[in-house]
Amino acid sequence: MFERNGSTRSLITSVLVLGVAACGGGDGTEQQTEAPSGETEAAAPVAVENPATIAGVINFTGTPPANDPIDMSEEQACAEKHSETPTRQTVVVNDGKLKNVFVRITEGLTGATGGTPTEPVVVDQDGCVYIPHVVGVVAGQGVVFKNSDGLLHNVKATPSNNRPFNISQPGDMSSPAQTFNAAEVMIPVECNVHGWMQSYIGVVEHPYFAVSGDDGSFTIANLPAGTYTLETWHEQYGTQTQQITVGPNETAEVTFDYDASMAGAHVPLGTPFDPHGDHAADSRVASATH
């Protein structure tokens, strides 16, 4: 069932922290948490002596495919939020760098791995798109879906290893925190009302993950020194792995190279989204689809 979700106030202010610098801080400073009474204490970041950092860049060569434009003419409130014709975010390349690549450590971590943050990640529905498009959470951490559009959205998650959900959001509101207790990369999230709305959530058993930003960069900080396997995931171009060794107090740089010819790569995902499947329980929402 739903995890307790703290106050709406604190949820709204807890803007996404698991972006480019996924581990937050990264300088070893403990984050101040103001846990409401009754909440469990925030999981203290594991104190890492002489922390290491992995700083990466996702390169992209070749001509990226154009993303499909989105026709928002039937949702004027959303259309007005976009100065240019909005497009899908399938392949976002800026100056030869690929955005929205999910990166995590898959091997090499031993012992304690950071705990589960009590602050939820927020995925905003703003302008009839999900912001961010790709996001990561630690298993057990909450994900709050915020509706900033004042119109009906419906959030449908179709994980394979976690419990699916389908929640209607008929106006400005934030959902109770949803939790995914099992690691799963990635979980597709769609809106039953607006077929173009899609995002992906990566659930990891530890906090050592990141998503490449506008400039294709990512940072995984506050790591124990060691040798790690990094795995990337992109919704169009699939996965890559690479091993990297980083010493105490060092920053190791790593690059991953994607290119346009990789289209059609195997992309591991959850169960494909099926708008007519068993989970379309809300008939009001179902009838609004298409």
Residue ranges in contact with Cu ion by CB under 5 A: 153, 191, 193-194, 197
HEC secondary structure over 50-92: CCEEEEEEEEEECCCCCCCECCCCCCHHHHCCCCCCCECCCCC
Q: What's the CA gap between 136 and 114, in Å, rounded?
A: 15
Q: Are 124 and 144 in contact (CB under 8 A)?
A: no
Secondary structure letter of residue 150 according to DSSP: S
Q: Report the residue number, 119 or 149, with the smaller CB distance to Cu ion.
A: 149
* Residue nearest to Cu ion according to CB distances in the complex: 191
Q: What's the CA gap between 290 and 280, in Å, rounded?
A: 13
Shortest distance, position 192 Cβ to Cu ion, whole Å: 8
Q: Report the residue number, 57 or 193, with the smaller CB distance to Cu ion.
A: 193
Q: Report the residue number, 197 or 254, with the smaller CB distance to Cu ion.
A: 197
Shortest distance, position 163 Cβ to Cu ion, whole Å: 21
Shortest distance, position 168 Cβ to Cu ion, whole Å: 10
- For 81-164, strand residue ranges (E) read 93-94, 97-98, 102-107, 121-125, 130-131, 134-138, 142-147, 153-157
- Positive or negative, the Cα torsion across 18, 180, 161, 205? positive
Q: Are 158 and 187 in contact (CB under 8 A)?
A: yes
Shortest distance, position 200 Cβ to Cu ion, whole Å: 16
Q: Report the residue number, 201 or 210, with the smaller CB distance to Cu ion.
A: 201
Q: Report the residue number, 32 or 283, with the smaller CB distance to Cu ion.
A: 283
Q: Which pairs with CB-CB distance under 8 Å and at least 24 residues apart come from 27-32? A: 27/221, 27/222, 28/222
Shortest distance, position 160 Cβ to Cu ion, whole Å: 23
Shortest distance, position 112 Cβ to Cu ion, whole Å: 39
Q: 115, 120, 164: which is closest to 4 by C-alpha? A: 120
- Residue that the structure tokens 């995914």 belong to: 180
Q: Report the residue number, 36 or 69, with the smaller CB distance to Cu ion.
A: 69
The SS3 assignment for 7 reads coil
Shortest distance, position 197 Cβ to Cu ion, whole Å: 5
Q: Report the residue number, 103 or 191, with the smaller CB distance to Cu ion.
A: 191
